[in-house]
Amino acid sequence: MWRFLTYMDNSGLYVGLDIGTTSIKVIVAEKVKGQLNVIGVGNQPSNGLSRGVIVDIDQAADAIRSAVNQAQEKASIEIKDVIVSVPANMLRIEPCNGLITLDDQSREITEEDVRNVAASALGTSLPQEREIIDIQPEEFIVDGFDGIKDPRGMVGVRLEMRGKLISGSKGIMHNLQKAVTKAGLNIVSTVLTPLAESHVVLNDGEQDFGTIIVDLGGGQTTASVIHDHQLKYATTDPEGGTFITKDISIVLNTSMNNAEKIKRDYGYADSLQASADNEFPVEVVGQSEPTYIDERYLAEIIEARLSQIFDRIKDRLNQIQAILT
C-alpha cells in the first residue's frame, strides 16, 4: 500500500519528484534551522506520458533520469531516494469506516488502537484493478459518542473511525513505480499532489475552513477541495495550458513555440485586464513580415478556453455542493 509520509534522509535533504502532464520536475531542498532552502532543481519534458499517465516506461525513465541529473549537478549531490507526488487524476476518493472492540471492560485508548481501527478500514472492498494509497480519518466514535478528532487517552470499549479512502489504479501506480525504479531511484515516500499544494498555497485557516485549489497544468486542470486539513474531493479536466497555446497557434497562424512565448510574454487570463492599445509582433507562418495584434485580442483567445475549462469544473463541484452560493 502506498502511504502519505514525510521523509528526510540522514543528510537533512528532501528530494521531490513530480511527474506532470508536460514536464517532469525534481527539487532538492535542505533543512536548515527549521527552514527549507532549495539547493537544486531539474526540469525535463514529460516523454513517455499521455495526459499525465505513463504509457512508455523506458521513455519516462529516461526523462526522469535527465531531470534528476540536472538537479544533482546544481545541488552537487548524488540522488538515490525520492519523494514522489501522486497527481489527482490517479485518485479516487470514497468514504470508509473502521471498527474495533477494545476489551470487555473500558480502558484508555492508545496510539496502537488508533492504528488498528484505521487498519480495519483497509478491509473496504475495492475493485481488483485498484489499490489503496491512503486513509484519512475524519472523526472517531468512542462508545457511540461521535465528532472526536483524537481519541487517544479517552476511555471506552468500542472505537470506530469514519474517513476517506484514497485509491489508485494498480496498473498506473505500477507503471509510475517501475519508471522511477528504472531511472535508478528508490521511492521512500509518496505525497498526494493536492495535499502538497495545500501546504504551499494555503494558510492554516484556509486549510481548516475549506478552500478549492485549481491547478492549471500543461495537459490538464485539477480542482481539489481541501477542508479540515484533508483532501475531500478532486476532479480533473482533460484540458490545460497546452490547449490555450494550441488555440493561439491556430487563431494567429503561428508556430507552437511562438504561441507559447506570446502567451507567456503578453497573455492575460482576463480580457478586461488587457489593453487594446498595446500591440506586439506575431511571426505568421508563410509570411516574411510579422503581423501586429493587441493584448486584448490575445486575452480574448485565452479567456475563451479558460471559460470552457472552468465552467466544466464548476459543474462538477456544484454536483457535490462544494461551492457555496
C-alpha cell at 79: 540522488
Identify whether residues 175 and 55 lie together within a single domain.
yes
CA distance 200 to 63: 26
E strands, 76-128, where? 81-86, 91-101, 107-108
The pLDDT profile of the chain, 325 residues, written as one tens digit per residue, is 333 334 445 467 899 999 988 899 999 999 888 888 999 999 999 999 987 889 999 999 999 999 999 999 999 999 999 999 998 888 899 999 999 998 878 899 999 999 999 888 887 678 889 988 888 999 999 999 999 999 999 999 999 999 999 999 999 999 999 999 999 999 999 999 999 999 989 999 999 999 999 999 988 999 999 999 999 999 999 999 999 999 999 999 999 999 999 999 999 999 999 999 999 999 999 999 999 999 999 999 999 999 999 999 999 999 988 776 5
pTM for this entry:
0.82
Residues 176 and 149 occupy one common structural domain = no
CA distances from 45 to 60, 61, 127, 237, 274 (A): 9, 12, 33, 21, 30
Question: Is the domain of 182 the same as that of 301?
Answer: no
Domains identified in the chain, total number: 3
- Cell (9 digits) for 297: 485580442
Range of the domain at 162: 91-169
Residue 316 lies in a domain: no
Residue 129 sits in the same domain as residue 20: no
Residues 126 and 168: beta-carbon distance below 8 Å: no
Based on the fold, state whether residues 111 and 247 are members of the same structural domain: no
